[in-house]
Amino acid sequence: MTKKKRRQNPEIEDLIARPWCYYCERDFDDLKILIHHQKAKHFKCERCSRRLNTAGGLRVHMEQVHKETLEQVENALPGRESIDLEIFGTEGIPESEVAAHNQRIMAEFAQKEADRRAASGQSNGPKKPKIDISKELDPAEIKRKLEEHKKAMANGGITPVTPGGAMSPGRAQSPGGFEAHGSPQVPPHQVPYGQSPPPQFQQAPYAMPPQQNAFPQPNAYPPANFPPQQAPPNPYPAAPFQQPPFQPAPQPVPFGRGAPQPQFNGYQQPPAGYPPAPYNGPPQQQQQHQPHFQPPARQHQQSSLPQPHQIPGLPPKPNVPGLPPRPAFTNHPGGFGRGNMSGPPPQQQWNPPHQPQHFNAGPPAAAGFGPPYGMPPQGPANQYPQPGGYGQHPPQHQQPQAYPPPQEVSANATPLGQQRIGLVPEPSLAAPAPTEQPALLPLDTTLAPDAPAATPVEPPTPAVKPKREVRHAYPDTDISPEEKRAALPKYGYKGKKGRENTPMATESTS
């Protein structure tokens, strides 16, 4: 690929927004470059090197000029040689292909993320799985993964499912690194990164739990932790310990499936979605937990916040000091109130724990999205109990308490759970959708302006031209211009006998 290294970690939105060539799956910095590429690689006449704008244009050109039949688009990937699609730039690409392409980008992005983390020695398993999950998988495949997950769970839970495949390494690393890194990393990262590191750890094992734990601890440690979010140092050690137990069950599958969507939310939501995210989160919680809400919300926010950050920011942190993440954090801290963002994060957190339950429950029928969402409630219950056990902070306690009920409720009442699911998905999905659409839409709009310019060119060749009125600059079909001119008096041309006079006459009359 020819992606420029704008940053070390480009945003997924940017990657998705890049113009890409349907025929060869290459992506480009600019739509114009893409169009140039298409004209040069795919729409170029091999006979005369003329560059057409579309496959249709080329076909007509070949037929009319070379009397040959264009059968396929040159240099196209297998299965994409069709000349029936009228593709110009990124216009005209079938929806399904666009979706598949975006999935591919996201998968690639996830893989890169994973590689980078692996390279940097940090485990971000969760992110990867989330991303993978984020991809829209076939229901069948999701089911299959669920099955695998179940098996994995039965075996020991740690074995990751296919989606988790990437995860597994990360996890393995994370746990191992956890303890080891935990202490060492803490010092460097502590103050600024404090939060970030925990998230990482959490992610590896299961981000949420650690954070929650961590936070409680910070609180316990009280002073510094909360405001600066420095808590991490202390929390880390604690968190890891706590986490290990949690990790096995919740982490593997849940994230894999449920996580992906959340991640999207996380990515997209952070930027634009703060308001939406909060809404999503709170409403659900409120319905169930309203009493406890405010305090818990904050906690959630905190806990949740790290995750969103982790998702986008984590990668940077590990590699680089994590400058990018910080800003986010700083914002978040200020926004603790906003922490509502937790909406999505809670889901993520919850999901992991839930999933196991779900599997047991047998929601698999839900096919992918439904179950994960439903899962969250259960998950929280599992997780929360532990935090509660720690009983470090009142707020935390509140949260856990509050959560359990909702979860239980959801678990008990499938309808409710489904409703939640519906709610959750909507926000999560909705959030991503808007972000994606905006990104895409701009492209379209940009295309639109360009397209008109280009399209006009095409139509002439291929299409039946609208008959334009034709005027002959020299309308006489029998008399040549020279004869006409010769008839002008100033030349004194008499013509031969009477013949010239005839043209003269016609001329004068005409």
Residues that bind another protein (CB under 8 A): 46-50, 65-66, 468-474, 476-478, 480-486, 488, 491-493, 495-496, 499-500
Instruction: Output the smallest distance, CB 490 to another protein, in A.
Output: 9
Instruction: Output the smallest distance, CB 58 to another protein, in A.
Output: 14
Nearer to another protein, 415 or 498 (CB): 498
Cβ neighbour number for residue 329 with a 10 Å cutoff: 25
Tell me the β-bridge partners of 44: 51
Nearer to another protein, 74 or 408 (CB): 74
Q: How far apart are CA 421 and CA 417, in angstroms?
A: 6
Nearer to another protein, 151 or 485 (CB): 485
Nearer to another protein, 140 or 488 (CB): 488
Query: For residue 274, what are the CA distances in angstroms to 10, 427, 430?
Result: 21, 11, 13
Nearer to another protein, 29 or 71 (CB): 71
Contact 329, 302 (CB under 8 A): no
List of residues 6+ apart from 392 with CB closer than 8 A:
213, 216, 217, 219, 220
Nearest to 356 by CA among 427, 250, 217: 250
Instruction: Output the smallest distance, CB 318 to another protein, in A.
Output: 51
Q: How far apart are CA 287 and CA 290, in angstroms?
A: 6
Contact 314, 199 (CB under 8 A): yes
Nearer to another protein, 143 or 484 (CB): 484
Instruction: Return the half-sphere exposure (C-beta side, CA atoms, 13 A cut-off) of residue 298.
Output: 18
Nearer to another protein, 334 or 470 (CB): 470
List of residues 6+ apart from 276 with CB closer than 8 A:
269, 427, 430, 431
DSSP 8-state assignment for residue 116? H
Instruction: Output the smallest distance, CB 36 to another protein, in A.
Output: 19
Instruction: Output the smallest distance, CB 54 to another protein, in A.
Output: 18
Contact 135, 227 (CB under 8 A): no
Instruction: Output the smallest distance, CB 124 to another protein, in A.
Output: 50
Instruction: Output the smallest distance, CB 37 to another protein, in A.
Output: 19
Helix (H, G, I), strand (E, B) or coil at 51: strand
Beta strands in 18-101 (DSSP E): none
Instruction: Output the smallest distance, CB 136 to another protein, in A.
Output: 42
Nearer to another protein, 95 or 469 (CB): 469
Instruction: Output the smallest distance, CB 77 to another protein, in A.
Output: 22
Instruction: Output the smallest distance, CB 68 to another protein, in A.
Output: 8
List of residues 6+ apart from 223 with CB closer than 8 A:
none
Instruction: Output the smallest distance, CB 462 to another protein, in A.
Output: 16
Nearer to another protein, 2 or 508 (CB): 508
Q: How far apart are CA 332 and CA 301, in angstroms?
A: 8
Nearer to another protein, 65 or 433 (CB): 65
Q: First CA to last CA across the chain, in angstroms?
A: 67
Contact 339, 279 (CB under 8 A): no
Q: At residue 370, what is the residue type?
A: G
Nearer to another protein, 3 or 47 (CB): 47
Nearer to another protein, 433 or 488 (CB): 488
* CA torsion angle 365 367 372 377 (round to 10): -30
Instruction: Output the smallest distance, CB 53 to another protein, in A.
Output: 16
Instruction: Output the smallest distance, CB 503 to another protein, in A.
Output: 9
CA angle 7–331–125, rounded 5-degree value: 55
Q: What is the CA radius of gyration of the chain?
A: 32
Q: At residue 98, what is the residue type?
A: V
List of residues 6+ apart from 217 with CB closer than 8 A:
225, 231, 234, 235, 238, 239, 390, 392
Nearer to another protein, 4 or 467 (CB): 467
Beta strands in 79-209 (DSSP E): none
Q: How far apart are CA 382 and CA 350, in angstroms?
A: 9
